[in-house]
Amino acid sequence: MASCRHDQYSAPSLTKIHQIPQLAQIFTRQATEFYAGITISTQKRPIMAAFILPIKHNYLTLRSERKRTRACALDTVPIVKKYNEHKSMSKKEQEAPETTGIEGLNDSLTAMTQKVQDNRKIIMICSLVVVAIVVIVLAYVYFFRNPGMQKHNDNIGSADLQLALSNDSVALKQYMDIADNGNFEPANRAALESAILLYRDGKYEEALKYAEKYSTRDEIIGAGALALKGDCLVNLDKLSDAVSAYKEAISISDHNPAYTPYFIMKLARVYREQGNFAEEAKVLEEIQNEYPLYGQQHNLDIEKLLDRARLQAAK
């Protein structure tokens, strides 16, 4: 009984064991067809279809996921790279120490101090030169210029007193001494006073020398000194030089109604002396147009003088 049961049980088992090689061949063939892209028919091979189809589905799904993952990875490489660079720069900026205003000022002072130390010798020499110049200027002003000016002021004051007392010769001598040996403003004024007194004495050559020593651009005194120079030149028969002196006086006087027409009238007389009647008429016309009251104030008939100059210029 027992062996009979054993035989009954053993027979079907041996049959299934004999089918294993066939099943293996079928499985191998189906797998080969799947990887080659051949579709398995579920109607003809019902046993392998149930086994192979899930494998195929999982394989295709896995392959699709891998492609999508690889594409996403390639797309995100530049973004990740830029993110990492930005993160690195942000980290460096955060790690960099912030410089405050006080720290910047300290750095500037430190750099300046270093430069001063490096150029200490040059700075010391320049400082000594500046100090020496200042000392020399102050010494000149307080020990030479001011005492000299005081002395010359005292001397010219004495000459002015002699002139006021009608001692012209004594005053002239003092003025000439100050003009020749002095300096500063007192000597300049003494030269003009000497030129005036010498001109009055008819000493035109000497008067011209002292008139040329005088230097100022004042519209009244300076213009008068140039007119005096022109008078000296006229008396020395240097008419062309006299014309230049009078023109300069006219220019400096800056249309002064009391002096400018006076200097123009002197210029007109020189033009007439030269026989240049056209220029004489021109300057007389300037007096008539710009200074119409001058003729009445000095009893001069400017219109008559102008007609005469025009008539002679027309010949």
Q: CA 82, 86, 92, 96 torsion: positive or negative? A: positive
User: pLDDT per residue over 36-90, tens digit each?
Assistant: 554 444 444 444 444 444 554 555 555 565 556 555 555 544 554 555 565 555 5
For 127-215, CATH number? Answer: 1.25.40
Query: Dihedral angle at the C-alpha atoms of 12, 14, 16, 22, nearest 10 degrees?
Result: -150
The more confidently predicted of residues 180 and 120 is: 180
What residues have CB less than 8 Å from 217, skipping those under 6 apart? 252
User: pLDDT per residue over 11-25, tens digit each?
Assistant: 444 444 445 455 555
Confidence band (pLDDT; 50, 70, 90) for 303? very high
Of 68-77, 130-139, 304-313, give the lowest mean pLDDT range.
Answer: 68-77
The topology under which CATH files domain 216-315 is 1.25.40
Domains of the chain by residue range = 21-70, 127-215, 216-315
pLDDT at 281: 96
Q: What is the pTM of this model?
A: 0.56
pLDDT at 54: 52
pLDDT at 83: 54
Q: Do domains 127-215 and 216-315 have the same CATH topology?
A: yes
